[in-house]
Structures are given as structure tokens and as C-alpha cells.
């Protein structure tokens, strides 16, 4: 997986990520939008035959967009760990 920075300012970040699709991008977008310091978060997959996604973040206040992205990834990771734990419990009951 490769990550390429397309645009970076004090309040905006636009990156291209190779090899991720709607599932991960949508998850990150939702976690980003939960942050009150994030003004705008979205993603685009410019071509349906391409596996490259473009993620865009704009923050307000003093938060840097890369910090907001790190926080969103951390939240998603915690959510994944919790889901995995609960899934294992449920599967043991079967």
C-alpha cells in the first residue's frame, strides 16, 4: 500500500492511497466527521477500475489534518478490536 500526499496546508490534507476501496474510506470518513475539529472529510475513487482512493480532510481551529486522520485511524482500530472480541465470544456460543 502506497500513500502519496497530493496537498498539504495547515488546515487541509489530500492524500492518495493505493489499494483501498469504499469500505476503509467510508469508515475513516465517518470517524473523521465525529471529530468536532474536522470541518470537512470525504473521499473519492476517481475511476471504478482503479484501486486508488483520494481522501480529503479540512480542519478548523488549531488541529492539523494529519492529527485528525491519525485519531480517526486509532478510533477505527479500537472499533475493530472490540468487534473481534465480541465476535469470538459469539462464535464460542455456537
Burial call 62-94: b when 16+ CB within 10 Å, e when fewer: ebbbeebbebbeebbeeeeeeeeeeeeeeeeee
Domains along the chain? 3-93 (3.30.1360.10)
Q: In what order do the strands lie in the sheet with 3-8?
A: 3-8, 12-18, 52-59, 38-44
Instruction: Give residue 50's pLDDT.
Output: 81
Instruction: Give residue 30's pLDDT.
Output: 97
* Residue 67 DSSP code: H
Instruction: Give residue 86's pLDDT.
Output: 94
Of 58 and 21, more confident:
58
User: Average pLDDT in the 38-64 region?
Assistant: 92
Instruction: Give residue 48's pLDDT.
Output: 81
**Is the pLDDT score of 17 beyond 90?**
yes
Amino acid at each position: 500500500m502506497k500513500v502519496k500526499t497530493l496537498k498539504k496546508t495547515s488546515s487541509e490534507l489530500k492524500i492518495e492511497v493505493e489499494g483501498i476501496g469504499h469500505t476503509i474510506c467510508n469508515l475513516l470518513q465517518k470517524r473523521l466527521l465525529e471529530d468536532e475539529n474536522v470541518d470537512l472529510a470525504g473521499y473519492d475513487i476517481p475511476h471504478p477500475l482503479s484501486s486508488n482512493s483520494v481522501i480529503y480532510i479540512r480542519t478548523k481551529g488549531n488541529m492539523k489534518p494529519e492529527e485528525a486522520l491519525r485519531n480517526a485511524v486509532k478510533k477505527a482500530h479500537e472499533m475493530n478490536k472490540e468487534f473481534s472480541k465480541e465476535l469470538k465470544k459469539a462464535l464460542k456460543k455456537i
